[in-house]
Amino acid sequence: MTDILSELGWRNLVAQHTPELPDELAKGSLTLYCGFDPTAPSLHMGNLAQIITMSRFQRLGHTPIALVGGATGLIGDPSGKNAERTLNTVDTVMGWVEGIRGQLEPYFDFSGSNACIMANNYDWTESMDVLTYLRDIGKHFSVNRMLDKESVSARLNGAGISYTEFSYQILQSLDFLELYRRHNCTLQIGGSDQWGNITAGTDLVRRVESASVNGLTTHLVTKADGTKFGKTESGTVWLDPELTSPYAFYQFWINADDRDVATLLRTFTYRTQEDIDALLLATTERPQAREAQRALAQDVTTLVHGAHATAQAEAAAAALFGRGELHDLDASTLDAVMKEAPHSEVSLEGEPVTVSELLVKCELVASNGAGRRAIAEGGVSVNNVKVTDEGATVSAEDFLHGQWLVLRRGKKAFGGIKRVK
């Protein structure tokens, strides 16, 4: 079963692992876990990297445990930021737990000899009293070593850290101990920023159970310019379609920098090394075709949102630039697309509204006069139909799904007008 290290190796995913892991994998399949804390109502792109990594293990015969951190989510891992996290209510966190559990389930197989196991660390911490916590668990932790953790030491040199966040490492280590006892789990995986927490867990299992368990971390995905991957100007890229629409999600991937696409294909798709090499060669020879980015966007959007959402996202992108039919887009896709574009609102009550006025509203021209000149020059369309009358107006029937007009000036600039009552 050492194939998994080879698989992760050529994808350049392995950041660190405990020395004994290759020997443990050589013995056969094992049970591993990765934790996902409910610190928001949805998982995001960073979580997806770990989800896919764990699914690679399952595809090669290992048993994954998807752990939702109902308990650790109430505490919060101390971040590198110089501030404490805001504590959410128990009801809020438990609501997020259920939502995140539902997000995780589609990525794993829950049948067969290595069926995925869902777990929640709130189950074994809720009833634990403080004396048991201090005597049976806390006794095994060296404060000196805990202080060496980078995120802790950074806070000590700044605004300080509460005992609540300081104790996060103990709670996460307890997860490893409990999963070892309940499911013979012998491996924890996570991002490279979790190495300190993971090794604290391996040490706790060794001390309490005299057992050898292992850890593995993957590289955090960063862009070629050094900035954090998974962030856009509008914020985090979420897996929840209500927070990041499938169209915006698709556009995030297809707009990947040529310098980043190799890493993204290896990390977020199941394509073979040969497939990826061919796509990278095509990118070198025909960069304008963006074949690698297109394959990346198709694969990841389909994985997260399904084939229909991917097809709608592709159709929307084509239709916006006159290469497809806007009327074929469903209402939710059109709404998501136009919210990503410059847009404004209009009421059709009162005097008729001219196309030139609408061009001003969605910032495609600076004035009504400029709008009329653009129409006269043949460079303006409404819903992909060229406007030829400088004084043209719009009516309720022009709005797609009764809600949106799509205005385009030239080949690339477009905006939206939403009808309000």
pLDDT band with cut points at 50, 70 and 90 for residue 233: low
C-beta separation of 219 from 13 below 8 A = yes
- Rounded to whole angstroms, the Cα distance separating 400 from 79 reads 45
Q: Say yes or no to pLDDT of 256 above 60.
A: yes
What local confidence, expressed as pLDDT, does residue 244 receive?
93
If pLDDT is split at 50, 70 and 90, which confidence band does 1 have? very low
Residue limits of CATH 3.40.50.620 in the chain: 3-218
Give the whole-angstrom CA distance, residue 73 versus residue 99: 13
pLDDT of residue 231: 67
Query: Residue 296 carries which side chain, given as an amino acid letter?
Result: L
Please give the pLDDT value at position 378.
93
Over residues 235-263, mean pLDDT: 94
- Which has the closest alpha carbon to 246: 300, 200, 292? 300
Would the pLDDT of 184 be above 50? yes
Q: To the nearest whole number, what is the mean pLDDT of the chain?
A: 92
CA distance 286 to 92: 49
- The secondary structure of 377-394 as a DSSP string is TT-EEETTEE---TT-EE
**Tokens at 53, concatenated:** 């990594």
Closest-CA residue to 305 (of 257, 352, 350, 252) = 252
Would you state the structure tokens that stand for residue 84, as one six-digit string?
């404490």
More confident residue, 218 or 153: 218
Q: What is the pLDDT of residues 58-74, one digit of tens each?
A: 999 999 999 999 999 99
Q: What is the mean pLDDT of residues 118-129?
A: 95
Any idea what DSSP says for residue 134? Answer: I
- Domain 341-421 indexed as CATH 3.10.290.10: yes
Which pair of structure tokens corresponds to residue 29?
């399949």
**182, 184, 172: which is closest to 137 by C-alpha?**
172
CATH number of 221-340: 1.10.240.10
Residue 208 has pLDDT above 90, yes or no: yes
Task: Please state the separation of Cα 279 from the chain's center in Å.
Answer: 23
Mean pLDDT in residue range 291-300: 98
Output 2 or 315, whichever has higher pLDDT.
315
> pLDDT at position 153, please?
81
CATH class as words, domain 3-218? alpha beta
Q: Give the phi and the psi of residue 217 in degrees, each rounded to 5.
A: -120, 150
DSSP result, 309-340: HHHHHHHHHHHHTTSS-GGGS-HHHHHHHHHH
Q: What is the pLDDT of residues 80-109, one digit of tens each?
A: 566 778 889 999 999 999 999 999 999 999
Identify the CA nearest to 128 among candidates 119, 118, 138: 138
Residues 325-346 pLDDT 10s:
898 898 989 998 888 888 999 9
Average pLDDT over residues 298-304: 98
For 186, the enclosing helix (H) or strand (E) is strand 185-191
Question: What average pLDDT score do residues 73-77 get?
Answer: 87
Residue 361 reports pLDDT greater than 60: yes
Average pLDDT over residues 34-52: 95
Consecutive H or E run containing 7? helix 3-10
- Where exactly does CATH 3.10.290.10 map onto the chain? 341-421
The CA distance from 141 to 321, in Å, is 60
Measured distance CA(42)–CA(420) in Å, rounded: 30
Express each pLDDT in 14-24 by its tens digit: 999 999 999 99
Q: What is the mean pLDDT of residues 33-55?
A: 96
Position 313: which residue type?
Answer: A
Q: Where in the chain is the domain with CATH 1.10.240.10?
A: 221-340
